[in-house]
Homo-oligomer: A and B are copies of this chain.
Amino acid sequence: MWIQKKINISLKSRGFHIITDEILTNTPELKDFKIGIFQLFIKHTSASLTINENVDQTVRTDFESHFNMLAPENQNYYEHTFEGPDDMPAHLKASLLGSSLSIPITDGKLNLGTWQGIYICEHRNHGSERKLIVTIQGSLF
């Protein structure tokens, strides 16, 4: 059994944001799957997806601070600079974090750990609505 749909995530400020509830609200079909895989894919090269701590906002703030150290702006060796100083770091961050997530489905729910949430990572200063594709596959009840 396969289900696929687009989800548009409204514009987020630069940084890391939890979207677990937004994703679940858009995928009520999940409850019909006994075992499966829930795949999220982001159709962009300057925003990304990851899974991390879902309670303390300072974790997300620290992610933004630290990824700005791992992929700083204005490195003297950057050649891809015509879209602004935040562009090349955004591409690097996107590949460090990745463009997709695969999460097991168990008994109609995402089988996440207690402290795991889905993050969208907006790496541009002025991003845009971000397009995700959700693909759900598995065996039904």
A-side interface residues toward B, CB under 8 Å? Answer: 2-4, 35-37, 39, 41-45, 50-53, 56, 58-59, 61-63, 65-66, 69-71, 75, 77-80, 88, 91-92, 94-104, 106, 111-116, 119, 131, 133, 135, 137-139
A3–B139 CA distance with the chains assembled, in angstroms: 10
In the bound complex, residues from chain B placing their C-beta under 8 Å from that of A2 are 35-36, 138-139
The reply to whether A111 and B52 form a contact with Cβ atoms under 8 Å apart is no
User: A121: nearest residue on chain B (CB-CB)?
Assistant: B95
12 interchain pairs, CB-CB under 8 A: A3-B35, A35-B135, A36-B135, A39-B104, A41-B102, A43-B116, A44-B113, A52-B95, A62-B79, A63-B91, A66-B71, A66-B88
Q: Please pick, from B101, B115, B138, the residue contacting A100 in the complex, using a CB distance under 8 A.
A: B101
A56–B78 CA distance with the chains assembled, in angstroms: 13
| Cβ of A74 to closest chain B Cβ, rounded Å | 12
